Structures are given as structure tokens and as C-alpha cells.
Structure 1
């Protein structure tokens, strides 16, 4: 994959380990279902179909959900100009460009690969950031595109989807079924449900950890591409502060897209524990950017 975004071996190794653990969990889960005599083929087929739909239609789904609209260079010349420059610097194809009419200051990138990618910014972020800060945010989002983070997170979420569907399957169809050997014991459906809930919880935590790693990686890659980490830090601080001024109702409507966003749609202090967050704490992101500034010899 051709790109000039700087690699981050430390974060990459952590993401690889997390993906390995998810894969191992998947193997154990399927093995447990087979041992229990559960016919999981239907659930796997349904989950696989949903995964494929999410994988191939992620750009359309995200744009539709956020009310994003593709814009031409004539409609948004400054935005297109920034993305043109960054794509030239990163040596990558230019994605489609969209704007969502929302006062929530944010941006996201989606699409399964560079040829099917779209970068979307809200009108709220365009009003609040200057050109250099916006460039830092866009470099972060283009890093997600270059590293195919949407595809990675879609695949990583597959196990949680299977476990969730299996839990419902156990609840609605097999909760009262006993062991087939006639020896009684716990209902097979209950065992399946408990195993599925545990697997879902573990996969949820691993996927959230993977999401936090990729956000730190995108911050680093974007800052190194522009060589101005302080501008990205400024954008983070400004956006996080502005979230407190957004009506709670608007934040709740935007929250389902937090995994896509540059910054979570929540006021400071309103998020769940860091363990459950899709993004690293603001302090962690700022500390990394400060370290990069020191490495580059800039403030």
C-alpha cells in the first residue's frame, strides 16, 4: 500500500496483538458452540452478511447517518485545496469530500479502501477551526484512510456481532433445551447465552482498545505528515472545549458515530470510563503530540 504516512511500530504491534486476541477468542467461541452441539451456521451466515454490508457500504451508511453531502471543488474550494495538498504530501489518491450540516464540531473518514473513501467534515468544525488546525484534523482522517482503519474495525467487530446474535438466538429459541443425553443438567440455551455474553463483553473491550490505538496512531501519523503537531493539539483542545457548549440532545444524536469521529461527541466528563471509550483521553493525545513536538524541535 503506497503512502508516506509515518509508521508507528509500537502502536502497530499493539493493534496486531489485539487482533490476534480477537481471532483467538473467535476460535474458542466457535469451538464452545460446536462442543455444545449448537448449530451456529445460520447465525454465522447472518453475521457474515451484515459484515459484508457494513464493509462494502460503510461510506454510504456513515454519510447517510450523518446527513453528509458530497461537495465539489467549486462548492468548497478551501476544503478541497487542503485535502489536495495533504494527498500530494502523503502520495495517496484523493478521497471524495463531503460536508455535514451539524453544529457538532467533528470530522470522520470512512470507506473500505483508498479508492472508496470519503472524508466528511461538519459545518461546526469549519466555523471553529482555522486553516492550519483543520489541516491537522484532515491529516488525521486521511491517515485512517491510508491505513484502512475502517476495514480493520469492521472485521474486528465481527465477533461481537456474532456473540450478540447468538445471545438473542439462545433467548428466543433454545433457552429451555436440556442436554440431549437425557441426564438433565443446565439448559443448553442458558449455557450458550452465558458464553455469548462473556464473549461479547471481552470482544467489546478488545475492540475499544483497538479503536483507541488506531486514534493514537492517526494522531501521530497526521502530525508527522504536516510537521505541525501543535496545530492538531490546538484543534483537539478547541473541539473538546466546544463540545460542552453543544446541546445534549445533539450530542446524543451524534454519539452512535463516535467510532468514526475525530473526537467523541460528548462534553468533558460526560463519557464513560476510558476502558469503554472509542478514543484515548484528551490528556493522552496531547501528551503524545507534545512528545512529537519535542522530537521535531518545535513547540
Structure 2
């Protein structure tokens, strides 16, 4: 309940950023309050689109293709077994053709859920480790994280886009008001950062929960721990290409590698992998799964 309230407030803050940003841009171009109203309308539209079309948007953005049982028998078999363990409807299965070893889940609910795995992860992991990863993704579905992640990705993307619009808007403005100019510059700098921080905060808490849920579904926390170690090494060697950074938090490990993650934990889209592994090992030792 507390977590749901926290996420609701975070997404509300994202909407607030759009409204404020729209108001300042409206002021620059003499639209007045109309700018804030436009920002509100945009946020409503984006929430609507991300809710009803989150699975399609995520699949398209990440170049994932839905596959049949004949096309990917290994994935379908494992996902089917784990979905039965989790007591949820079997999600659709998709493949992303990239050497980056990774996986993600998307959709607004169990009826629209999709679990996607890269060709890289299928080559990197054995069946036991792959079960651990796919159980983690089913944990996201069971915990209702996939909708939150999709909305956060969509909203973060639109805020960044609006900030870029504001960047050019300043130079076309004939307003001599220094205050508004400074406010606009600050928003251009901090709006994308705020969106990123919110997205990352959501991702971190959800990843820890999905790790635990995945270990419970697979009954094998050490399988996921081993997989995370291999995935992180593989991502460093084969970072993903041609994917918008606003979708990074959807993946089980940051698909762009951990170099940026080491620069600042504050701006990391994922919790520290070593910490995740330690928690999974402790679960195994305690038998608490």
C-alpha cells in the first residue's frame, strides 16, 4: 500500500513537471496559462497511451518481436512452467535480436503482459540460470511493476523532449525578462534529471522486489544470483545499441553497461548488482523463499 502511494506520488510529480514546464514555455511565447493547460493535456494523453499501449510501445522501442512456441520452444517451455508456479496467466514471449544478454517484461496487466529475452541471454545462460531470470520478470508481472515501469519510461521520455523544446524556445523568445529566462534554463537542466531520478527510484525498489519474487517462483535464488553475475559481465562486453535510454530501467541489468553506473549511484537505473547477489545468497542460506 505504501509502495503504491509512493509510486503514485512520483508519477504525479512527473505530471507536475510537465504542467510547470508548459507554463514557462507558454510565458515565453505569450501563451499565458494556456501553456500549463497544454502541459496538463499532454500528461493526460501520455498517461492514457502508456496505460493502454505500454506493451506495444515497449516492444517497438526495444525492437522486440513476439514469437510462437515453434519459434522459441525453450523460452515458451520455461515461461510456461514458471507462470504455473507463480499462479499467473502465461504471458506472451518475445525475442530481441542483440548480443546484449538481457531481459524485460512489459504490459499493463497479466492479460497484456509480455516477457522478452535477448538472443544474447539465451546464448549466455544455461537453463537453470535462464529460469532464474525469467522468474524475476514474472515477479515484475505478479507484483504489478510492469505498468509502473512503462508509464515512467513514457513520461521520462516526454519530459526530456519538452526540455529540448524549451532549449530552443528561449532563443526564439523576444522576452527581456531575466527571471523567466533563468527559470527556463533551470528547467531545461533539471527537468530531465528529475525525470531520470524518479524513474530510477521506481526501478531500484521494483528490482529488489522482483528478485525476491523471482527466487520464490523458481525456488532457486542462487540461479538468479549466478545469472546476474554473468549478465553484468556480458553487458560490459556487448552493451545494447539503438535503444532509448529512457527504457533502460525495464531490463534486469542496465543494458548500456555499468560504466555510467559507477560514475554515480544516484543516477543508476538499477540497484548495485553485488548487493542484489548478496541478498539472493542470504535468501538461499536462510531458506526464506
TM above 0.5, one fold? yes
Which residue in the other structure is 2:198 paired with? 206
2:110 counterpart of 1:119:
no
Which 10-residue stretch deviates more, 257-266 or 159-168? 159-168
Partner secondary structure for residue 108 of structure 1: strand
For 1:12-56, what per-residue CA distance to the aligned partner results, in whole angstroms no more than 9, with x for missing partners? 745643543553675588579779854211232234333433333
RMSD: 3.2
TM-score normalised by L of structure 1: 0.78
Partner secondary structure for residue 253 of structure 1: coil
Give the unaligned 5+ runs of structure 1.
Answer: 1-11, 179-184
2:125 counterpart of 1:129:
yes
Deviation at 1:196, TM superposition (A): 6.1
CA distance in 1, matches of 2:76, 2:218: 16
Change (3 A) 1:190 1:170: farther
Alignment of 1:134-145 (within 5 A): 134-145=130-141
Higher helix share: 2
Deviation at 1:254, TM superposition (A): 4.5
Which residue in the other structure is 2:162 paired with? 165
Partner secondary structure for residue 112 of structure 1: coil
Give the unaligned 5+ runs of structure 2.
Answer: none
Change (3 A) 1:242 1:194: closer
Larger Rg: 1
For 1:98-149, what per-residue CA distance to the aligned partner results, in whole angstroms no more than 9, with x for missing partners? 1222211111111111111111111111112111111110111111122232
2:272 counterpart of 1:274:
no
For 1:57-82, what per-residue CA distance to the aligned partner results, in whole angstroms no more than 9, with x for missing partners? 33223323333222222222222111
TM-score normalised by L of structure 2: 0.81
Change (3 A) 1:83 1:32: closer
Matched residue pairs, number? 278
> Aligned match of 1:219 in 211, 214, 217?
211
For 1:254-289, what per-residue CA distance to the aligned partner results, in whole angstroms no more than 9, with x for missing partners? 563422211112344453422111111111111111
